[in-house]
Amino acid sequence: MPNEHPLLHVSRHPLIAHKITVLSDERTDHKTFRELARELTTLLLYEATTDLTLDEWQYRTPLEETTGSKVNLRIGLVPILRAGLGMVDAAVDLLPKAEVWHLGMYRDEETHTPVAYYNKLPDQCPDDLILVLDPMLATGGSAADALTVVKHWGAKWIKFVGLIAAPQGIRLLEQTHPDVELFVAKVDRDLDENKFIRPGLGDAGDRLFGTTA
């Protein structure tokens, strides 16, 4: 499955493999889950930002004048509420000048389809690169809808960063948004009859925020 999507990047980093395993373990408490989600987000964003363009930058060290590099892009973060909020702090730490916009979506438990309930995007996209953040890519419905909204907003360069994905979600994004790169820590086996990723990690929102499904 991972090799079928030309723009899918499944990390092979040993630290990511270790941390996604501990994150998924049912014995991992909420505090540790949040910490691991944050660490994984940082590591995945390192991989997702390897192609940022740079300007030459003149500066002075304590010893002399020299030349370095500076990222020349405006970057926007769009977490899909609510679970995407668990990835924002790490993203802002890594990209402190990034702008944070919010999209709210939830899954209808009867139809398993995404329902949009919140949109805090300005009239026009001001950023060169938009990073859409959501820990789980299950059916792909919420992500596909969010990417459609972001494209209509005017975003020209978009990447999706998640922690865990199912083949069904990857296929849907390949069909609906074949131009969007996907960066995830792991692709799991399948979805069950309730559209939960298996083996999965449970409900990322509940585990991040200590709530009960």
The number of domains in the chain is: 1
Give the domain extent around 88.
2-209
- Which one from 53, 111, 113, 148 is the annotated catalytic residue? 111
Answer yes or no: 171 catalytic. Answer: no
Answer yes or no: 134 catalytic. Answer: no
- Which one from 21, 32, 74, 203 is the annotated catalytic residue? 203
What local confidence, expressed as pLDDT, does residue 109 receive? 62
What local confidence, expressed as pLDDT, does residue 9 receive? 97
Q: What is the pLDDT of residues 31-50, one digit of tens each?
A: 999 999 999 999 999 999 99
Q: What is the pLDDT of residues 97-124, one digit of tens each?
A: 999 999 887 666 666 566 677 788 899 9
Identify the CATH number of the domain in which residue 48 sits. Answer: 3.40.50.2020
Residue 27 has pLDDT above 50, yes or no: yes
Answer yes or no: 25 catalytic. Answer: no
SS (H, E, C) the chain: CHHHCCCEEECCCHHHHHHHHHHHCCCCCHHHHHHHHHHHHHHHHHHHCCCCCEEEEEEECCCCEEEEEEECCCEEEEEEECHHHHHHHHHHHHCCCCEECCEEEEECCCCCCEEEEEECCCCCCCCCEEEEECCEECCCHHHHHHHHHHHHHCCCCEEEECCEECHHHHHHHHHHCCCCEEEECEECCEECCCCCEECCCCCHHHHHHCCCC
- Which one from 32, 89, 107, 171 is the annotated catalytic residue? 107
Residue 192 has pLDDT above 70, yes or no: yes
Report field, pTM of the whole predicted structure over 0.75: yes
Answer yes or no: 51 catalytic. Answer: no
What local confidence, expressed as pLDDT, does residue 82 receive? 85
